[in-house]
Amino acid sequence: MRRFGRSMVAAALTALAAAGPGTAQDGSAYARPTAEEALAFLRTLPPVGRKVDGKPQMVQLWQDKTVADVKSMKSLQFGGHVQGGAHLRMKGEDWRFLTAFESLEEANLWEIDGADDRAFFHLGHLSATVTKIFVEQAEVTDEGVRHLQGLKNLRFAGIGWTKSITDEALRHLAGIPSLEEINVSGCPGIAGPGLKHLASLPKLKTLHLNDPGFGDEGLAHLAPLGIETLHMTKPPAWAKKPYKIGFPALKALLSDKAALPNLKTLNLKNAVTAAQAAELMALRPGLKVAEK
């Protein structure tokens, strides 16, 4: 089997860096790395924690993978904790190697640090087969989120627990008409007004706003959405994080029959009592409200 050294990876990165953001090495179309180059890079990553036969171990996930695997994989998940407990980290430019997965459908990229604007530029050039992308604790800005508009068949977009995005990121997500599900849970910079942009998404059915950063004043911006499922749970007690949305505001929202007209499921785990959930369901016959 052919061996791929660090020198090959370094040469590819140097050439692309010289070209500058948003360009290929020759200044033309996007320069997608080969499967061989991607595998060479992935083999340089440190081992991550995994359970093997029920026991936690540090595992080098790519050592036994082949070029054929890179070309055929439909689901990608390789994040985790490295030795010492920190998350695996990749520089923004290194995320380009993920674009070599030509059959990829799901990119589950949690527990990988370093997802900045440059990383999202490359994520926007993932294979046209990608329908799901989920990144947590990203370092991306609102403008970086705009790059995801390059994924024309994306159905699920998750950018959870990211401190660096605001309502403007929602406007960029609204530019992906194929979206059916969005997860922006735990993003304190989302104040609520940007939610109105999501009303333009014709296929959007599910919205995850767990651990919301806004309070009662942000609820009104949910009203025009045509979603069927809304997750807006409160963090568990051990997290010691405030939940700013009160029951009276939730009741007022659901009392308006024109607000969230298609809502069928409302997940308010830890946020309301069983009695309060029953009261909300009484306002909307057919609505299911989960409180635990």
Tell me the pLDDT tens digit for each residue of 197-236. 999 999 999 999 999 999 999 999 999 999 999 999 999 8
- Using only the alpha carbons of the chain, give its radius of gyration: 21
Instruction: Give the tokens for residue 237.
Output: 């007690």
- DSSP helix/strand/coil, 135: strand
- What is the pLDDT at residue 239? 85
CA 174, 175, 176 angle in degrees (round to 5)? 90
Give the pLDDT confidence score for residue 240 in this predicted structure.
Answer: 86
pTM (whole model) above 0.85? yes
**Nearest partner of 225 among 260, 254, 275, judged by Cα:** 260
The full set of domains in the chain, from first to last, is 6-290 (3.80.10.10)
Q: Which parts of the chain sit beneath pLDDT 70?
A: 1-28
- Three-point CA angle 25, 30, 36, nearest 5°: 80
**According to the model, what pLDDT value does residue 12 have?**
46
31 neighbors 25 (Cβ within 8 angstroms)? yes
Tokens (6 digits) for 268: 């308010």
Angle (CA) 107 111 113, round 5°: 100
Alpha helices in the chain (DSSP H): 6-19, 35-42, 67-72, 117-123, 142-145, 167-173, 216-219, 247-255, 274-283
What does the pLDDT look like over 24-46, one tens digit per residue?
A: 433 458 999 999 999 999 999 99
Can you tell me the distance from the alpha carbon of 157 to that of 32, in angstroms, rounded to the nearest whole number? 22
Beta pairing, strands 55-59 & 48-52:
antiparallel
* C-beta of residue 62 within 8 angstroms of C-beta of residue 45: yes
Residue 66's Cα: distance from chain center in Å?
27
Cα–Cα dist 266/262, whole Å: 11
